[in-house]
Amino acid sequence: MLIVTTQQWSAISAHLTQHLPNEACGLLAGRKGRIEKIYLVTNIEQSPVRYEMDPNELLAAILEMEQADWELLGIFHSHPAGPPTPSPTDIAEAYYPDSAYLICSPDADNNWQGRAFEIRDSQAHEIEFKIESSNG
């Protein structure tokens, strides 16, 4: 399970919207499925159909997670044209099998929706993704 607060979801959504029409990406750090910090990372591909995280930002985030004793709970990115499911490229390049992959796309009203997946051994399985109020 992957749990974000409404405030965190708003920050993710704003990041995704800011980078339209391109894909946007980032990392989700925390413990036991609950997100403690979101890392908004630059997509150096600047592409509407592909992302690659800026290596310096990625390294800085990983080091900070280690210092805070957080886990890399998830990796998120957008599919601006939908759907919020893993593409063949997402599955082929899923290098972190112990992390969830949160894929976001706009719904019919242009509000962001997200679905989380575990991607392991070239197979994607949906896992529970919850947005909870910021005060629990």
- Terminal alpha carbon distance of the chain: 16
Three-state SS at 81: coil
Q: φ and ψ at 39, to 5 degrees?
A: -110, 115
Q: Which residues contact 65 (CB under 8 A, 6 or more apart)?
A: 27, 29, 37, 71, 72
* Catalytically active residues, by annotation: 23
Per-residue pLDDT of 8-36, as tens digits, reads: 999 999 999 999 999 999 999 999 999 99
* Domain layout of the chain by residue ranges: 2-132
Written as six digits, the tokens of 89 are 């490229």
Tell me what the pLDDT averaged over the chain comes to: 95
| The predicted structure's pLDDT at residue 46 | 96
Does the domain at residues 2-132 carry the CATH identifier 3.40.140.10? yes
For residue 113, pLDDT beyond 60:
yes
